[in-house]
Structure 1
């Protein structure tokens, strides 16, 4: 089950992803600042993985925005994520770790899932395998490549409404 839920970086050339991108090999992330994703600040709820998903994003501070995620299915916690988008080397990076309902980490102690910034558009920020989309002040979408146990991946849309 863990392997199914962990977000993986996968070559987009083998996928039919419509909303996620991959940084071309050898290219570096373009300039960006945390102010470009400040609109994510707030408490968001949606439905995915057969349950209720929730994300809480802090306001920007010290060049970072932290977030927590939880999945609730059948009135039980499925898993948590803790992470942030932070400024790094004049650009942005999206980093996260997964935890079970008992707060035991899925990744190794020093392992962090990292997703490099690719580009910004008027209402979207693209990271490798993830896209943050602002629909309005009250609604967002997050698109992510979700890894399957067989090594394949599929793009999943998480629609959230502000609470």
Structure 2
């Protein structure tokens, strides 16, 4: 479990060079509305981190979208995430909060990891260190910058297919 915690609890560095993620680098987030990213909604499944991954995103409602993530390795839940994309200051903000398999929070009670919007393209939305890419109506990639303690930051790709 400690390895997953170290892998997930990361800091995004402005100096990291990656292929599919961007950093805000002190700029203002662009103007955007929640409907601009409505294509993320769905029940997505894939394989990563040595197991089965699952993400579920709701359609926009109340100027927000709600998401959840689960990692299952050898039929055992390793951790969960609760996520939101909300309209904030005429832009979008992605927030993530992590929980162990017993729903004990990893971050402090009132804290979450925040990813401000960097830019939106036709099939991609770039948050600071995390990117959603729509491959087709049935396929979604998510790219995340991970910083493991004492190691170089790396970009990780999560490939998801729409669950049936």
TM-score, structure 2 as length reference: 0.94
Matches within 5 A, 1:54-73: 54-73=54-73
Q: Structure 1 residue aligned with 2:9, among 3, 6, 10?
A: 6
Unaligned ranges ≥5, structure 1: none
Matches within 5 A, 1:67-106: 67-106=67-106
Q: Is the 8 A contact 2:10 2:148 kept in 1?
A: no
Q: Quote how far apart the aligned CAs of 1:7 are.
A: 4.1
1:102-144 deviations in whole A, cap 9, x for unaligned? 1000001111100010101111000000011010100010000
CA separation in 1, counterparts of 2:17 and 2:88?
A: 30
Q: Is the 8 A contact 2:81 2:98 kept in 1?
A: yes
Q: Is the 8 A contact 1:144 1:156 kept in 2?
A: yes
Q: Quote how far apart the aligned CAs of 1:98 are.
A: 0.3
Matches within 5 A, 1:111-122: 111-122=111-122
Matches within 5 A, 1:5-154: 5-11=8-14, 13=15, 15-25=16-26, 27-150=27-150, 152-154=152-154
CA separation in 2, counterparts of 1:79 and 1:97?
A: 11
CA separation in 2, counterparts of 1:21 and 1:80?
A: 25
Q: Quote how far apart the aligned CAs of 1:22 are.
A: 0.5
CA separation in 2, counterparts of 1:34 and 1:136?
A: 20
The SS at the match of 1:8 is coil
Q: Is the 8 A contact 1:23 1:128 kept in 2?
A: yes
Aligned Cα RMSD in Å? Answer: 1.0
Q: Is the 8 A contact 1:116 1:127 kept in 2?
A: yes
Q: Which runs of 4+ in 1 moved over 6 A?
A: none
